[in-house]
Amino acid sequence: QVRLVESGGGSVQAGGSLRLSCAASGSTYNEYSMAWFRQAPGKEREGVALKLGDGTLKYAESVKGRFTISKDNAKNILYLHMNSLKSEDTAMYYCAAFCRFDCWNLNGTYDFWGQGTQVTVSS
């Protein structure tokens, strides 16, 4: 069982930056796939960025060039660095781990999820 705890969300003006963190615990294996998803009110959940176990990174077109996913393997923390934030980035952001199906797809199926952290961008 893997436990994921997100932090770092908050309110920021358009053009600002935030760094989300996802602390993972409960697995002795470190090289598993992890991803960030988000869900805005009234919209479906969407994949934002993923990091496969082999190090492959992938981003949604809407965040490419602005967001960066990274992982500190020593601390087992996944990050999402978000720059040039826009009002349309406002959403609840979720961390996910251990992709089970469709892992090259940003909207793949993951076994474990965090509770989410809210990001609000005001214009």
Q: What is the pLDDT of residue 27?
A: 76
For the chain, what percent of residues have pLDDT higher than 70? 98
Neighbours of 115 (CB within 10 A): 10
* pLDDT tens, residue by residue, 87-116: 999 999 999 999 999 998 999 999 999 999
Q: What is the pLDDT of residue 86?
A: 98
Q: Distance between CA atoms of 89 and 22, rounded to whole angstroms?
A: 18
* pLDDT tens, residue by residue, 34-77: 999 999 999 999 999 999 988 999 999 999 999 999 999 889 99
Q: What is the DSSP code string of 37-90?
A: EEE-TTS--EEEEEE-TTS-EEE-TTTTTTEEEEEETTTTEEEEEE-S--GGG-
